[in-house]
Structures are given as C-alpha cells and as structure tokens.
Amino acid sequence: MTTNVPRPGPANLGPNAGLDEWLEEAKQCHYLPERAMKELCEKVKEILMEESNIQPVCTPVTVCGDIHGQFYDLLELFRVSGGMPGETNVQAPKTATTVITSDDIEPPSEITNPKLRKKLRSPVGDAGAGGNEGEDDADVAGSRPGSALSGANVTSAQSAETRFIFLGDFVDRGYFSLETFTLLMCLKAKYPDRIVLVRGNHESRQITQVYGFYEECQQKYGNASVWKACCHVFDFLVLAAIVDGEVLCVHGGLSPEIRTIDQIRVVARAQEIPHEGAFCDLVWSDPEDVETWAISPRGAGWLFGDKVATEFNHVNGLKLIARAHQLVNEGYKVWRIRTENTTCYVLGAN
C-alpha cells in the first residue's frame, strides 16, 4: 500500500481558481501565487475582524500547540485527530497517552541574543521589507527548531464537527512556514467556525524577521509583499479561545495586568505585539515553580506560579488553562505544582 506524500513546490492553478482550488493545492504543500495569496489573506482578515478577542468554542475540540512551519507534522496532527474539516473516513489511531507530572516539564526558553533582546525592547512599528536585513539569526537556548509536535484532545470523541484550536506560532524555524500558514488560512476561510487561530509571539513582524518566515517569503516570491500581507493577518488573530466556558486557551500565559477574562476582551489586538503589557504577556509568559510572579528569562512576559493560576481560574470559573509556547517531548503535559488542581495544561510546542 502506497501513500501519496505531498511534495513541496509552487501551486499550479488555472485563471479562475478560487478557495476550493487553493485548499487542494495547500494540502499538497504547494504555495499559492502572489495574487492568490494576497486575496486569501484579505478573506481571512475579514473573518478574523468579526471575531472577539476570546473566541468561544464548543466541544468536541482538538487543541494544538505550536506548528513552527512543520507542514508534515500538521498533516499528521490532523490525521491522528480524525482528519481536517471536510475530510471523511479518516481513521484516528487508538493510542493511550500517559499523563506526565510537573517534574518532566521542560524549562522555559531563554532569549540570549542581545540583538533580539534589543529588538523586543525597541519601539514597535509596521516594519518595512528590509527593516532588519542586517540582523544575524538568533537562536533560543533550550528549544529545538524543527522538532515534532503533538496535539491534545479536550474530549476524546472524534466527530465530523470537531473544531480545532491552534495556539499560535504557525511560522518560523521550520522549512514550510509559508505552506503551513497557507493551509491554515485556507481552512479558516472555508470552515471559519471550525478553525480558531490564536496569536503566538511569532505572529509578529519583529520576530519573523529574525526566525525565518520573512526570509522564506523573500526566497519563494522574490519580494516581501506576501510577508506583509500575512503580517496584516497576524494583527487580527484572536488572543485566546474559551472551550465550553471552562477551558482558557492561550499561547503563552497570564499577566499581572489581567485578573479577569473580561480584561482580555478589551485589549486592543489589531497591532504589532507590544514589548510589554497585557498583550505581550499573553503571548510570552510561562508557568513556573514560583510563588506568584517572577522575571522571565525570555526577556519578555512573566513567569507565573501556581497561586496565580489557581486564583485566576477561581475568579473566572475556569477548570484549567491550555497553553503552548514551550517544547514538550511527549506532546502534552499537565502542570501541577502545589495543589491537586490542574492549573495549566502545556501542549507540545517549540
């Protein structure tokens, strides 16, 4: 039995091709022509503009960690989840996943490159195509560019109506950031109620100019116009999702400026990610074994402890927080520090 493995390359589209044709090409790891890509970005941006900062989602749902341009891992994630929207007769494998204790959780990544630290602390603007071409590539200690990813089901049931929440960091590091984001946008445009795209810290003009997405767009299109169009889409991605009113899904973590989820609802999200404040913290913070709050070694966001997470869950009537932003070799881990309550659910991520 042979399997048709998608082969990367440019899409071969007719003059009247539309969303359905774009989606079929995107499934084959083909990147769209510049004109079609810009049109797709506009379609998705219009959909995102109608969504709230915290998008409500009903079960059944599959919550997915960072993709980081790993297109084939994205296909595998859909396969083990029963297929992407619109697919039928996809058999999900029967697996038993062991819940991991907090002792196994990876330490937070650290931004050690002084140039990137300077960039994160510099005034934020709509960067131009060549704004940082002189910067060296930065590396993040403790992370593994290109490593594999697993998703986690909030419910184990597979359904034709299963929804997917992607917790950001769709691009950078991997070889197929463009194709990965193209497929996710095609699915969002085709099935807007079944795909939720949450913003990560890599959905940023500054970060993508350092970690690869900007360069990839330059190589495949010969200019930065598609990168700019994608960055405008980034500006309208939601900040979080909430499943059945009980599970908060966010890329990074909590903020000392946010006590209630209603405060997240009023954050001005249509902008480049600020270098500090509530918006920044939502995409940069990490859980850690600290009393309350501590300075993050990443150079952005905060480390927050069990007491903070437990109080936040209690105040907002939540059962747990699902987040990404850190590498988890086993796919997902449950963060338990001092109490028996599950306060944070860490998904597989780079």
Distance CA 246, CA 116 (A): 36
**Is 202 considered catalytic here?**
yes
Closest by alpha carbon to 292, among 259, 316, 245? Answer: 259
- Categorise residue 299: left if φ over 0, alpha if ψ from -120 to 50, beta otherwise: left
Q: Which of 30, 202, 251, 325 is catalytic?
A: 202
Q: How far is CA 88 from the centre of its chain?
A: 25
What residues have CB less than 8 Å from 222, skipping those under 6 apart? none
What residues have CB less than 8 Å from 104, skipping those under 6 apart? 330, 333
Closest by alpha carbon to 325, among 342, 301, 347? Answer: 347
By the 10 Å C-beta count (0-12 exposed, 13-18 middle, 19+ buried), 192 is classed as middle
Residues recognised as catalytic? 202
